[in-house]
Amino acid sequence: MRARAPRRRRAPLGVAAATVALGLLLSSCATPAPEDAVDQRTPSPDLELGPFEDVLSAIDDPTAEGLPEPLIDVDRLISGGPPPDGIPALVDPVYEDAADVDWLEDPEPVLAISLDDDHRAFPVRVMVWHEIVNDTIGDVPVAVTYSFQRECSGVQAGSGAPQQIVVPLS
């Protein structure tokens, strides 16, 4: 005759799960503050910023006195790209007719903008290197942006723009 293994008690796990579920339910049912509620928080005082501090930076000199000895051979380091704000925007770009473009692959992703009857496409492979295009579509100044780190894009339109500009990434 084979001995039976003792039954596990599952009640503590079930109680914990029910408690978490109830807590989530109750927190999602919280009553919002009335529209006439007064903000009673004390505003924080404006703090003065001090002058720029002259501190050692391994970016400027990885072997500077006062810094720890580098763990790698710093002579083998190469630039990781442009400095902050070092990526130039494209300003008033020159466009090609879509039928004449032969340097893009067929499924190439582009940022497409249509404003009235004016249609523009910004290849993602170009946007990766420039990230911002400043242009005018019709009479509307626009800034088209793309972030390859976040894989997102956006458009900022100046005065005279319609209420909504749709920018699909295709």
Whole-prediction pTM: 0.48
Residues of the chain with pLDDT under 50: 168-170
Q: How many CB atoms lie within 10 A of CB 4?
A: 6
The single-letter code of the amino acid at 143 is A
For residue 109, give the nearest of 132, 126, 92 by alpha carbon: 126
Cα distance between residue 8 and residue 17, in whole Å:
17
Which residue is associated with the tokens 């300003």? 91
The string of pLDDT tens digits covering residues 38-67 is: 555 666 666 665 666 667 778 778 888 888
Q: Dihedral through CA 81, CA 84, CA 86, CA 88, nearest 10? A: 110
Residue 101, token pair as written in the block = 């473009």
The secondary element (H helix, E strand) that includes residue 86 is none
Q: What is the pLDDT of residue 52?
A: 62
Q: What is the pLDDT of residue 122?
A: 92
Q: Dihedral through CA 58, CA 60, CA 65, CA 71, nearest 10? A: 40
For residue 146, give the nearest of 165, 163, 122 by alpha carbon: 122
Residue 121, token pair as written in the block = 């496409």
